[in-house]
Chains A and B, each alone.
Chain A
Amino acid sequence: GAVVSQHPSRVICKSGTSVKIECRSLDFQATTMFWYRQFPKQSLMLMATSNEGSKATYEQGVEKDKFLINHASLTLSTLTVTSAHPEDSSFYICSARDGTGGSYEQYFGPGTRLTVT
């Protein structure tokens, strides 16, 4: 089955620093990847949609300059939280869409828990 990995699984950083989270599709090519944020006891909220080789499309209310998304290849997308603050502490989940064969299924990564101190 299609596998999506995320790295790191857990990260703690100091306020003001930047953190990069990687999302990889391991056995398929993902033309589109999605980034979600989930606060404790809440649902997944879509932050942005990234297409390989083009700029990400951000959802309303998500700061583009704070959450930098790069989808440089068909198997890798990165989310960089710049100048992180405690309120950015959250569970970040990526998903990758397999566009081959017309299935358009989304496969989710295991998530990255970010704690900003």
Chain B
Amino acid sequence: AQKVTQAQTEISVVEKEDVTLDCVYETRDTTYYLFWYKQPPSGELVFLIRRNSFDEQNEISGRYSWNFQKSTSSFNFTITASQVVDSAVYFCARRGNTGFQKLVFGTGTRLLVSP
């Protein structure tokens, strides 16, 4: 199976600290998509970003930034100046470009931001 690995099960930081969530993926596809989702305690998944395999440019959106390194099959997510509202479980996911194009999720990283 083509896995998505999030090695960090849980991270605890204090407000205003920067934090990076790691994601490493496996794929045999030439074209694929990578995603990050946030799942707050309510349970509803919040889409954060989609990146296709041909676009290795890093992206910044406010306090969020993403680093896509195809050479190491990594798609890491950094939150700058973390806030308590960032506390949630974050999932990295990969989607292929053939068949049903199923999303494969990583195991998730629980981020706890304390005041």
Q: Name A residues whose Cβ lies closer than 8 Å to a Cβ of B.
A: 32, 34, 41-46, 49, 57, 91, 93, 95, 97, 104-106, 108, 110-111, 113
Q: 10 interchain pairs (CB within 8 A)? A: A34-B102, A42-B107, A43-B106, A91-B43, A93-B45, A95-B103, A106-B95, A108-B37, A110-B43, A111-B43
Q: Which residues of A sit under 8 angstroms from B27, Cβ to Cβ?
A: none
Q: Are A43 and B43 in contact (CB under 8 A)?
A: no
Q: How far is the CA of A113 from the CA of B91 in the complex (A)?
A: 19
Per the bound structure, the CA–CA distance linking A42 and B105 in Å amounts to 10
CA distance A104 to B45 in the complex (A): 18
> With A and B bound together, what is the CA distance between A16 and B42 in angstroms?
28
B107→A43 contact, CB < 8 A: yes
A32 to B103, CA, bound (A): 13
Docked pose: A111 CA to B105 CA in angstroms:
16
Interface size class of B (residues with CB under 8 A): 10 to 19
Give the number of residue pairs across the A-B interface with Cβ within 8 Å: 42
Instruction: Give every chain B residue within 8 A of A44 (Cβ-Cβ).
Output: 45, 91, 105
Shortest Cβ distance from residue A101 to the other chain B in the assembled complex, whole angstroms? 15
Quick check: B105 and A97 within 8 Å, CB to CB?
A: no
Do A49 and B100 form a contact, CB below 8 Å, given A43-B91, A43-B108, A44-B91? yes
Q: Which chain A residues border B110 with CB–CB below 8 Å?
A: 41
From B42, B45, B102, contact of A108 by CB (8 A)? B45
Complex CA distance for A15 and B42, rounded to whole angstroms = 25
> In the complex, which residue of chain A has the Cβ closest to the Cβ of B50?
A105
- Alpha-carbon gap, A69 to B58, bound state (A): 40
Is the C-beta of B101 less than 8 angstroms from some C-beta in chain A?
yes
Q: Which B residues touch A46, using CB under 8 A?
A: 102-104
Chain A residues in 8 Å Cβ range of B103: 34, 46, 95, 106
A7 CA to B43 CA in the complex, in Å? Answer: 14
